[in-house]
């Protein structure tokens, strides 16, 4: 196996080799702006116009890989796009691998990995028929060297839209954009892999969430809220918040401000509110500050790490979505900071406006030399404003940031959003996931898979899981808006009803339906759409809600 170092001249245009192979350049030139963890994964989307067989991939192993390491990679084929599917292992199928190569180590190296089939495709070729694919490449024995930007590559046979990376395969968070470096060599033609697959498409109804958040997990310059503000305006009709871009910068420390001293990193301070409560939307509706018998006063808790807890104690440190949603109600810019290393922190009650003001002024991040200036203001109108001054922009990786508000106490997860790009938006006064349908496994011929429905809205109820030979995943065959049946915001993701299974949420029967996949080889490549319908007379005038669709492709 030939080992080529980074200074080797790289192809910058698609070329045809003497063997009739095509070389498609990826992430040129072959220099790494960033690197993943050992044995991490990179993801991208691929559209195939003609049948193509992957022969080899020239890739970059980063300088973090030690001398003598044996490097290879695995190829996983997944849904039509990798976004939104990374953490669902059941949607990714091992189809290929590269021959191992021993590395010199200590510097970025380019390696030529010759590709062969693996997993269910062992002994075959890695051949793709026309269609859209999510692709995951998992490093074995090395760290990927990659670019941070978006790079798209195409020729008449296929196109690749580069995407993201994760430090561990098929796990969150993902860092994006990321582009693998290298050259893909392929041959036109071959016998496409006949592997079974499943893919979730479309949305169920109804999704209602009290919380919102954005996770800044990218190690590139990603925090985009400096010198802006977010205004959470209380909506009394729905007991929720309407979130808009505010217009107020952090205000300077006033004469009545109380300087707060944190004893160490991740510390928090209980702040006495002088009998004047903070009123906010919590997990039980509109709530007010709890009473602390030690301070003999109403209190809120200010964390060294950029948030205010409204109904209890929340630990600091690096943020996690699970801790954010399951702890007490909180709001702010959760980032691991160290007030003992500089800056100042204070609380002030503004007698003119009746507002409670919490401020972090030039508090250093623990990650690097960056500092953070921000202010959280609670108004007697129940409005909340998060005011950002100059913030540390270089966050993510091992030092992420989570910005947002949650009612906590087991709040449901709405998923991360681009807060600055999403405003204006609103939270809801209730927490409910949409009706959701999932397949337990890929539909391999002769197997039985479970189609499981969740998110039902009635304590005791019934519905149907439907299989259809006419999926409606979008495009020409767009989902049908069921407003015509009195179910606005719900959609039919299938065009026919060919087979249906009753479901219920009574424990004796349950929310899963077993689907026996035919064993006849004539069904290889057949596609079915699946969707659930749940009967709820109180949900809307039509008395029903619908799930997302699941696209099932039968195969081996």
Output the domain CATH number for residue 142: 2.60.120.820
CB 404 within 8 A of CB 249: no
321: CB partners within 8 A, 6+ apart: 213, 215, 402, 413, 416
Looking at residue 10, its pLDDT comes to 29
95 occurs within a structural domain: yes
CB 212 within 8 A of CB 243: yes
- Each residue's pLDDT tens digit, 160-170: 887 888 889 99
Domain check: are 338 and 408 in the same one? yes
Domain check: are 316 and 402 in the same one? yes
Integer Cα distance of 75 and 93 in angstroms: 8
Domain check: are 137 and 172 in the same one? yes
Looking at residue 126, its pLDDT comes to 95
Domain check: are 303 and 366 in the same one? yes
CB 277 within 8 A of CB 230: no
Is pLDDT of 4 > 60? no
Looking at residue 181, its pLDDT comes to 81
Token pair 């349908």: residue = 437
Token pair 């719900």: residue = 490
Looking at residue 509, its pLDDT comes to 66
Is pLDDT of 267 > 50? yes
* CB neighbour class for 495 (10 Å; exposed up to 12, middle 13-18, buried from 19): middle
Is pLDDT of 113 > 60? yes
274 occurs within a structural domain: yes
* CB neighbour class for 136 (10 Å; exposed up to 12, middle 13-18, buried from 19): buried
Domain check: are 154 and 51 in the same one? yes
Looking at residue 9, its pLDDT comes to 28
Looking at residue 524, its pLDDT comes to 80
Return the DSSP state at 340.
Answer: G
Structure tokens at 27: 């992430």
Integer Cα distance of 498 and 468 in angstroms: 5
Q: Angle CA(385)–CA(390)–CA(391) in degrees, nearest 5?
A: 85
Integer Cα distance of 532 and 436 in angstroms: 8
Looking at residue 6, its pLDDT comes to 24
DSSP result, 134-149: EEEEEEESS-BEEESS
The total domain count for the chain is 3
- Residue count (the chain): 556
The least confident of 265-279, 324-338, 411-425, 470-484 is: 470-484
> How much is the average pLDDT of 269-284?
95
Is pLDDT of 210 > 60? yes
- Each residue's pLDDT tens digit, 215-243: 987 655 468 899 999 999 999 999 999 99
CB 26 within 8 A of CB 46: no
CB 369 within 8 A of CB 287: no
Is pLDDT of 319 > 90? yes
Among residues 11, 7, 37, 39, which one has the least CA distance to residue 25? 11
Looking at residue 478, its pLDDT comes to 87
Structure tokens at 465: 């899981």
Strands 297-303, 491-492: pairing kind: unpaired
Looking at residue 411, its pLDDT comes to 96
Domain check: are 160 and 46 in the same one? yes
Integer Cα distance of 41 and 63 in angstroms: 17
Q: Which of 193, 218, 240 is a domain's end point?
A: 193
CATH number where 480 lies: 2.60.40
Q: What is the mean pLDDT of the chain?
A: 88
Neighbouring C-beta atoms of residue 85, cutoff 10 Å: 20
**Cα 159 to the chain's mean position, in Å?**
24
Return the half-sphere exposure (C-beta side, CA atoms, 13 A cut-off) of residue 518: 12
Q: Which of 426, 447, 470 is a domain's end point?
A: 426
216 occurs within a structural domain: no
DSSP result, 211-271: -EEEEE--SSB----TT-EEEEEEETTTTEEEEEE---PPPPP-TT-EE---SSTT-EEEE
217 occurs within a structural domain: no
146: CB partners within 8 A, 6+ apart: 27, 32, 33, 34, 35, 36, 42, 60, 165, 178, 179, 180, 181
Q: Angle CA(425)–CA(430)–CA(435) in degrees, nearest 5?
A: 90
491 in helix, strand or coil? strand
Looking at residue 219, its pLDDT comes to 57
Domain check: are 293 and 341 in the same one? yes
Looking at residue 28, its pLDDT comes to 60
Domain check: are 420 and 444 in the same one? no
444 occurs within a structural domain: yes
Is pLDDT of 46 > 80? yes
> How much is the average pLDDT of 50-75?
89
Domain check: are 86 and 156 in the same one? yes
Domain check: are 422 and 437 in the same one? no
Domain check: are 159 and 276 in the same one? no
Looking at residue 8, its pLDDT comes to 25
- Each residue's pLDDT tens digit, 381-439: 999 999 999 998 777 777 889 999 999 999 999 999 999 999 999 999 999 999 999 99
Return the half-sphere exposure (C-beta side, CA atoms, 13 A cut-off) of residue 548: 20
Which domain range does residue 516 map to? 200-206+433-553
Is pLDDT of 72 > 70? yes
Secondary structure, 3-state, 28-65: CCCCCCEECCCCCEEEEEEEECCCEEEEEEEEEECCCC
Integer Cα distance of 497 and 239 in angstroms: 40
Domain check: are 363 and 246 in the same one? yes
CB 528 within 8 A of CB 469: yes
CB 65 within 8 A of CB 36: no
Looking at residue 542, its pLDDT comes to 96
218 occurs within a structural domain: no
287 occurs within a structural domain: yes
Is pLDDT of 348 > 70? yes
CB 105 within 8 A of CB 69: yes
Q: Which of 396, 426, 456 is a domain's end point?
A: 426
Looking at residue 64, its pLDDT comes to 76
309: CB partners within 8 A, 6+ apart: 268, 300, 301, 303, 327, 328, 329, 330
215 occurs within a structural domain: no
CB 445 within 8 A of CB 520: yes
Looking at residue 31, its pLDDT comes to 67
């Amino acid at each position: 196996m030939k080992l080529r170092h980074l200074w080797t001249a790289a192809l910058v245009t698609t070329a045809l080799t003497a063997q009739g192979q095509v070389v498609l350049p990826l992430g040129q030139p072959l220099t790494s702006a960033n690197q993943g963890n050992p044995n991490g994964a990179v993801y991208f989307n691929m559209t195939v116009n003609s049948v193509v067989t992957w022969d080899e991939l020239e890739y970059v192993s980063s300088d973090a890989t030690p001398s003598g390491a044996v490097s290879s990679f695995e190829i996983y084929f997944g849904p039509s796009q990798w976004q939104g599917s990374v953490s669902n292992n059941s949607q990714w199928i091992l189809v290929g691998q590269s021959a191992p190569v021993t590395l010199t180590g200590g510097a970025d190296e380019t390696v030529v990995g010759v590709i062969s089939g693996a997993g269910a495709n062992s002994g075959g070729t890695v051949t793709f028929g026309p269609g859209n694919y999510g692709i995951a490449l998992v490093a074995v024995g090395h760290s990927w060297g990659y670019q941070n930007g978006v790079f798209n590559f195409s020729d008449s046979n296929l196109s690749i839209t580069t995407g993201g990376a994760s430090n561990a395969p098929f796990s969150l968070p993902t860092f994006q954009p990321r582009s693998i470096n290298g050259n893909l060599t392929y041959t036109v033609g071959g016998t496409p892999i006949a592997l079974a697959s499943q893919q979730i498409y479309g949305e169920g109804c109804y999704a209602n969430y009290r919380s919102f958040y954005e996770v800044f997990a990218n190690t590139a310059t990603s925090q985009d809220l400096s010198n802006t503000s977010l205004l959470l305006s209380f909506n009394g009709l729905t007991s929720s918040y309407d979130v808009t871009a505010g217009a107020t910068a952090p205000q300077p420390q006033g004469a009545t401000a109380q300087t707060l001293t944190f004893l160490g990193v991740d510390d928090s301070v209980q702040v006495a509110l002088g009998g004047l409560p903070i009123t906010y939307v919590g997990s039980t509706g509109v709530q007010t500050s709890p009473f602390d018998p030690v301070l003999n006063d109403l209190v809120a808790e200010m964390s060294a790490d950029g948030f205010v807890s409204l109904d209890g104690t929340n630990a600091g440190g690096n943020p996690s979505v699970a801790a954010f949603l399951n702890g007490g109600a909180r709001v702010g810019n959760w980032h691991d900071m160290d007030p003992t290393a500089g800056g100042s922190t204070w609380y002030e009650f503004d007698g003119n406006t009746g507002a409670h003001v919490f401020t972090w002024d030039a508090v250093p991040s623990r990650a690097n030399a960056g500092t953070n200036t921000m202010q959280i203001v609670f108004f007697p109108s129940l409005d909340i404003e998060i005011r950002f001054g100059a913030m540390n922009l270089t966050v993510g990786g091992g030092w992420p940031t989570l910005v947002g508000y949650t009612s906590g106490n087991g709040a449901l997860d709405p998923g991360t959003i681009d807060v600055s790009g999403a405003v204006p938006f609103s939270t809801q006064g209730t927490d409910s996931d949409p009706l959701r349908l999932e397949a337990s496994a890929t539909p391999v011929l002769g197997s039985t898979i479970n189609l499981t429905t969740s998110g039902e809205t009635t304590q005791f109820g019934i519905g149907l899981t439907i299989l259809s030979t006419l999926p409606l995943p979008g495009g020409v065959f767009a989902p049908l808006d069921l407003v015509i049946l009195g179910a606005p915001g719900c959609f039919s993701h299938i065009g026919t009803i060919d087979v249906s299974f009753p479901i219920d949420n009574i424990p004796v029967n349950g929310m899963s339906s077993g689907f026996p996949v035919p064993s006849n080889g004539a069904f290889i490549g057949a596609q079915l759409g699946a969707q659930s319908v749940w009967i709820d007379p109180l949900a809307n005038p039509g008395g029903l809600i619908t799930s997302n669709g699941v696209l099932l492709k039968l195969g081996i």
